[in-house]
């Protein structure tokens, strides 16, 4: 017999030996061992394919056809045997394994509100009790609303106070504060009195640290009416601080500067960690800053559609993250948006 015809003989012998051996495979490991031995690279079937180039041209089609027939027969038998072994394993499991249906089920972890959502919900409830209405404004703003209409014209040095994310569209940016909502609210409500809260996410292109993030929530307050005074501002913010931090909280107002308010100030609450004695949380000052505020600048009133000679108002802006940090003793603002489950699970 020639060497070329021996290929057909080896293929027949390989099929004849493989099929009985397959019936002896009783588990998954034995199946994989059989597959490696009879369908792997070094098996007789696969060797026949690799030797096609050495065979005479006239018998190459016959060798290829026969090798394919054997290969398909073995693969089909392997699939049938594999399914049979899986069914046998399932039947054994059903017969041998026991399930106590009276055992209690495994409890599934339940989601919960994000700490910032809790803080915002608390603030909204308090502000609603104080007569404020929620007024939503866009997060993608124009340069006019974010700066110019707030008494911050182009090249004004105060623009350096806000590190801005500009978009590829000229004159469009991510708002750096919720104050643009002041002009939008006034233009929508003028010439009627206003008492609104402007919540939302703000964005600033700055170095992240334990005290600053590139995104954060703000809640802006705006009140416009006739004969609104600084006393109304102080009384409203003092009442707000007491509703948030308790009736016994002490507050103070300090002078500050914002281009869109005049006069401007910042409100502090007495440090509730040390009781005003001085500690690391309050940097030994005894006070914690909670918001910025001031009387609405006449230019801003005019840009909103109100006559500054007849109308006045006040505005204030607070950061819920800062309030949560003070309330829960959180030392790093980056925890709020890192999605670390270990942090979030603490607020059940």
Average pLDDT value for residue range 105-124: 87
Give CA–CA dist 156/282, Å, rounded.
32
Name the residue with higher pLDDT: 33 or 67: 33
What local confidence, expressed as pLDDT, does residue 1 receive? 42
What local confidence, expressed as pLDDT, does residue 61 receive? 82
Name the residue with higher pLDDT: 329 or 224: 224
Name the residue with higher pLDDT: 195 or 91: 195
Please, what is the average pLDDT of the chain?
86
What local confidence, expressed as pLDDT, does residue 264 receive? 96
Residue 92 has pLDDT above 90, yes or no: no
Residue 64 has pLDDT above 60, yes or no: yes
Residue 334 has pLDDT above 90, yes or no: no
Share of the chain above pLDDT 90, in %: 40
Residue 99 has pLDDT above 80, yes or no: no
Residue 159 has pLDDT above 70, yes or no: yes
Judge contact between 296 and 186, C-beta under 8 A: no
Residue 342 has pLDDT above 90, yes or no: no
* Cα distance from N-terminal residue to C-terminal residue, the chain: 83
Name the residue with higher pLDDT: 327 or 72: 72
Residue 3 has pLDDT above 60, yes or no: no
User: CB neighbours of 9 closer than 8 A, spacing ≥ 6?
Assistant: 1
User: CB neighbours of 126 closer than 8 A, spacing ≥ 6?
Assistant: 240, 243, 244
**CA-closest candidate to residue 221, choices 346, 105, 333, 124:** 124
- pLDDT tens column, 124-145: 999 999 999 999 999 999 999 9
Average pLDDT value for residue range 155-162: 79
- pLDDT tens column, 234-271: 999 999 999 988 888 889 999 999 999 999 999 988 87
How are strands ordered across the β-sheet holding 251-258? 133-134, 194-203, 215-225, 312-318, 287-296, 261-270, 251-258
Judge contact between 200 and 139, C-beta under 8 A: yes
Judge contact between 215 and 201, C-beta under 8 A: yes
């Amino acid at each position: 017999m020639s060497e070329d015809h021996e290929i057909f003989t080896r293929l027949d012998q390989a099929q004849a030996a493989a099929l009985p051996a397959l019936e002896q495979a009783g588990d998954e490991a034995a199946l994989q061992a059989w597959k490696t031995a009879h369908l792997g690279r070094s098996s007789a079937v696969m060797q026949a394919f690799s030797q096609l180039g050495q065979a005479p041209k006239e018998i190459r089609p016959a060798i290829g056809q026969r090798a394919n027939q054997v290969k398909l027969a073995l693969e089909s038998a392997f699939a049938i045997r594999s399914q049979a072994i899986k069914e046998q394993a399932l039947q054994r499991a059903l017969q041998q394994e026991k399930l106590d249906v009276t055992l209690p089920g495994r409890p599934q972890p339940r989601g919960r509100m994000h700490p910032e959502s809790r803080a915002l919900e608390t603030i909204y409830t308090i502000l609603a009790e104080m007569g404020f209405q929620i007024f939503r404004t866009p997060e993608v703003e124009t340069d006019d609303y974010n700066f110019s209409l707030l008494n911050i014209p182009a090249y004004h040095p105060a623009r350096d106070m806000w590190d801005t994310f500009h978009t590829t569209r000229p004159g469009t940016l991510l708002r750096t504060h919720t104050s643009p909502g002041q002009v939008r609210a006034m233009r929508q409500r003028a010439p009627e009195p206003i008492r609104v809260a402007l919540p939302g996410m703000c964005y600033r292109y700055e170095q992240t640290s334990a005290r600053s993030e590139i995104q954060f929530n703000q809640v802006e307050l705006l009140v416009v009416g006739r004969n609104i005074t600084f006393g109304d501002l102080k009384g409203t913010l003092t009442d707000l601080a007491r509703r948030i931090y308790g009736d016994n909280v002490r507050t103070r107002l300090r002078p500050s500067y914002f281009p869109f308010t005049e006069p401007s100030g910042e409100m502090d609450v007495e440090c509730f960690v040390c009781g005003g004695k001085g500690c690391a949380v309050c940097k030994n000052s005894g006070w914690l800053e909670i918001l910025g505020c001031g009387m609405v600048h006449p230019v801003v009133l005019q840009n909103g559609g109100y006559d500054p000679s007849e109308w006045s108002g006040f505005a204030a802006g607070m950061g819920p993250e800062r309030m949560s940090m003070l309330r829960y003793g959180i030392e790093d603002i980056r925890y709020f948006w890192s999605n670390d489950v270990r942090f979030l699970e603490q607020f059940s």
